[in-house]
Amino acid sequence: MFTLLEVKTDFCSEYIDESVMQEIKDFMGEEGESTIRELIAIYLANTPPMIARIKNDLLENDLESLKAHIHSLKGSSASVGIVGISKTCKMIEELIKIGKIDEISKQFEQIESIYAQVEMDLRERL
Amino acid sequence: MTHEKDHILIVEDSEITLYKVKAVLIRLGYDVTAFDNPIKAMEWIKTVIEVPDLIISDVSMPGMDGYEFIHQLKNDEKTKDIPIILLTSHVDIRDKIQGLEAGADDYLGKTVGVAELELRVKALLARKHADDSTITEISARSISVFSLRGGVGVSSIAVNLAEAISKLWGIETCLWDMAMGVGQCALMMNLKPVSTIASISDWAEATLDDSTLSNMLLRHSSGVLLMPAPVSIEELELVTTRTIDLAWSGVASLAPYLVIDTGSHLTDQTLAILERSDIILLVISPDLASVNAAYQAIKVFNDIGFPPGKVQVILNQISPVASFTREQISESLKKSILVEIPYDGKNMIKAINQGTPYLEIAPKSDTSMAIAALAYRISSSQMEPKMADHSEPTLDLIRKQLRGKLS
């Protein structure tokens, strides 16, 4: 029982690499807390519209636009340590490269699901 | 030279990356200007009077990508010398080549840690400031090549630097082998020493004339005049700091330039040479032992009171694999690297075995170009004006190429 509970409360740890934010926080000293809050706020504001754009690219089968948007989401996620999303984006980039387009939507659903989970966690830090 | 607060321009369309990099750079004490797209950045840079000291740019951006942005900067006289770091979330070898071809100086992944970002920015700025002052400030008549660790190529660099200066301007250059007890220079140039400065050690100053010294010199076909090293034990005992006092001005006036192989030991004699030299080229190889030795040497030179500009670091790639990058070394020594000499082990060994200077074995290699560029840096401000009227077309061409490489 205890282990289950622990796994449940800790589900975000596999999606968020805490060391990324910690390093920024330590480096920024007295401005650490506010810098992190601002970074999280930017991430929370920009990610849902980006996910919507990706969804639209998939609907319209626009690979060029999809590539650019996935690339951008990968970068923004990595810069705050949301590795669950940046890694999935990387996987989608690989799929585009090798032409396995039909497998992309499954990975995209994964992104939506991870975002829903980390969003709650991130909001609590604001 | 003191510097105002360095000014860094960031161009990045990802709001979050822009915010992060900007926050870190401001914290580090830099002035920062940021744009979310390169077209706006380009318009801004055209209007400013003083261009930024460094540009950090994203690769994939709307309107104009990072490569095109760099291309435009490098083709404008006003902005062509600004170092550029490319920020990218995927660094594969193709991106690197494309970026370096466009003129980027360094790469950073978007996931870059704060410490790494700080290191790279500082290293590039240090290099830029060194370049700013190089051409005019490094002008030396007497050049000591030295290392506190043997086996890093001190003699090879001394021999080939002397030859490069000679060939660059069509003049004689004096090479003084003071790696006592070793005598590599004569071997590398296939010359047989007859007498050395040991023979003048008991002379009185008044009786020593230039012809005595001049008679000791071994003439090499390239224009290099070699003052060979004392090698036998009897000779070594005779060479004291007084001998160096006695010989210095005479040896220094034998040719327009004096290059000294000062070896790899700090003795009273080598210190006497290093003190009198206009510049010390401290040779290092990219490994821990050598960097540590260089660190110690720089510390000693600081303690003695040598001005920092007198000591310049030469990174000699003596093996195909380097343990540290130029930036890492520059950061740990707190000194920019003047010149990096690329690896060419095969030809270097061939040169030594044949007794022919490397420059003649592989005159067109990158390694030769690097040595020639070093020679040019040291001598151009004095020699270039003299060459204006009478000059050979081939030498002109070489010098033009070197000038292009440096500016």
> Tens digits of per-residue pLDDT, B307-321?
888 899 999 999 988
pLDDT at B381: 75
pLDDT at B130: 66
Residues of A in contact with B17 (CB under 8 A): 75-76, 79
Shortest distance between the Cα of B16 and any Cα of chain A, in A, equals: 6
Question: Each residue of B117-152: pLDDT tens digit?
Answer: 887 888 788 777 766 544 333 457 899 999 999 889
B232-238 mean pLDDT:
84
- The answer to whether the complex's ipTM is over 0.90 is no
**Residue A76 near chain B (CB below 8 Å):** yes
pLDDT at B136: 37
Q: Decide if domain B7-136 falls under CATH 3.40.50.2300.
A: yes
**Residue A65 near chain B (CB below 8 Å):** no
What's the CA angle centered on B126, arms B7 and B266, to 5 degrees?
A: 160
pLDDT at B235: 84
Per-chain mean pLDDT for chain B: 85
Taking CB atoms and an 8 Å limit, are B24 and A27 in contact across chains? yes
Q: Are strands B224-227 and B218-219 parallel, antiparallel or unpaired?
A: antiparallel
pLDDT at B371: 92
pLDDT at B405: 59
**Residue A69 near chain B (CB below 8 Å):** no
In chain A, whose CA is at the least distance from the CA of B22?
A35
CA distances from B313 to B145, B328, B373, B378 (A): 10, 13, 14, 13
Question: For B95, phi and psi rounded to 5 degrees?
Answer: -60, -40
Given a cut of 50, whether residue B322 has pLDDT beyond it is yes
Lowest average pLDDT, out of B158-167, B300-309, B394-403, goes to B394-403
Q: What are the extents of the domains in chain B? A: 7-136, 139-406
| Per-residue confidence band for B355, with pLDDT thresholds at 50, 70 and 90 | very high
Highest mean pLDDT among B128-137, B258-267, B382-391: B258-267
Query: Which value, in Å, is the radius of gyration of the alpha carbons in chain A?
Result: 16
Question: Each residue of A67-105: pLDDT tens digit?
Answer: 999 988 998 998 899 999 999 999 999 999 998 988 999
Q: Are the beta carbons of B166 and B376 closer than 8 angstroms?
A: no
Q: What are the extents of the domains in chain A? A: 17-124
Lowest average pLDDT, out of A32-41, B249-258, B393-402, goes to B393-402
B214-218 mean pLDDT:
86
Given a cut of 50, whether residue B305 has pLDDT beyond it is yes
| Per-residue confidence band for B238, with pLDDT thresholds at 50, 70 and 90 | confident
Lowest average pLDDT, out of B12-21, B122-131, B256-265, B301-310, goes to B122-131
Shortest distance between the Cα of B88 and any Cα of chain A, in A, equals: 8
More confident residue, B160 or A78: B160
pLDDT at B406: 55
What's the CA angle centered on B128, arms B145 and B143, to 5 degrees?
A: 15
CATH, domain A17-124, list 1.10.3720.10, 1.10.10.10, 1.20.120.160, 3.90.180.10:
1.20.120.160
Given a cut of 70, whether residue A10 has pLDDT beyond it is no
Q: Give the pair of three-digit tokens for residue B168.
A: 């660059």
CA distances from B217 to A84, B145, B243, B276 (A): 71, 19, 17, 21
More confident residue, A13 or B220: B220
Q: Give the pair of three-digit tokens for residue A61.
A: 């089968």
pLDDT at B115: 79
Among B16, B60, B89, the residue with its CB nearest the CB of A80 is B16
Among B17, B113, B114, the residue with its CB nearest the CB of A76 is B17
Per-chain mean pLDDT for chain A: 88
Work out how many CB contacts closer than 8 A connect A with B: 59
**Residue A79 near chain B (CB below 8 Å):** yes
| Per-residue confidence band for B189, with pLDDT thresholds at 50, 70 and 90 | very high
Shortest distance between the Cα of A34 and any Cα of chain B, in A, equals: 11
Question: Each residue of B66-118: pLDDT tens digit?
Answer: 889 999 999 998 998 899 998 876 666 677 677 777 788 888 877 777 878 88
In chain A, whose CA is at the least distance from the CA of B118?
A27
Burial of residue A52, with CB atoms counted within 10 A of its CB: 0-12 exposed, 13-18 middle, 19 or more buried = exposed
Rounded CA separation B294/B200 (Å)? 33
**Residue A71 near chain B (CB below 8 Å):** yes
What's the CA angle centered on B246, arms B241 and B249, to 5 degrees?
A: 115
Q: Are the beta carbons of B183 and B216 closer than 8 angstroms?
A: no
In chain B, whose CA is at the least distance from the CA of A73?
B14
In chain B, whose CA is at the least distance from the CA of A40?
B16
| Per-residue confidence band for A119, with pLDDT thresholds at 50, 70 and 90 | very high
- Helices marked H in B28-153: 38-47, 66-74, 93-102, 114-137
DSSP result, A96-122: HHHT-GGGHHHHHHHHHHHHHHHHHHH
Length of chain B: 407
**Residue A12 near chain B (CB below 8 Å):** no
Residue of A22, A24, A27 to mutate for B, most B C-beta atoms under 10 A: A27
**Residue A35 near chain B (CB below 8 Å):** yes
Highest mean pLDDT among B51-65, B120-134, B146-160, B173-187: B146-160
Rounded CA separation B183/B239 (Å)? 14
pLDDT at B133: 46
Closest C-alpha among B69, B256, B50, B236 to residue B168: B256
Read off the pTM. 0.53
Q: Are the beta carbons of B75 and B42 closer than 8 angstroms?
A: no
pLDDT at B93: 66
Rounded CA separation B113/B110 (Å)? 9
In chain B, whose CA is at the least distance from the CA of A71?
B89
Shortest distance between the Cα of B90 and any Cα of chain A, in A, equals: 9
Percent of chain B at pLDDT > 90 equals 43
More confident residue, B161 or B90: B161
Lowest average pLDDT, out of B127-131, B160-164, B229-233, goes to B127-131
Taking CB atoms and an 8 Å limit, are A27 and B114 in contact across chains? yes
**What does CATH list as the number for B139-406?**
3.40.50.300
Rounded CA separation B151/B136 (Å)? 31
**Residue A91 near chain B (CB below 8 Å):** no
pLDDT at B304: 85
**Residue A72 near chain B (CB below 8 Å):** yes
**3-class secondary-structure state, position B2:** coil
Same topology between domain B7-136 and domain B139-406: yes
Percent of chain B at pLDDT > 70 equals 87
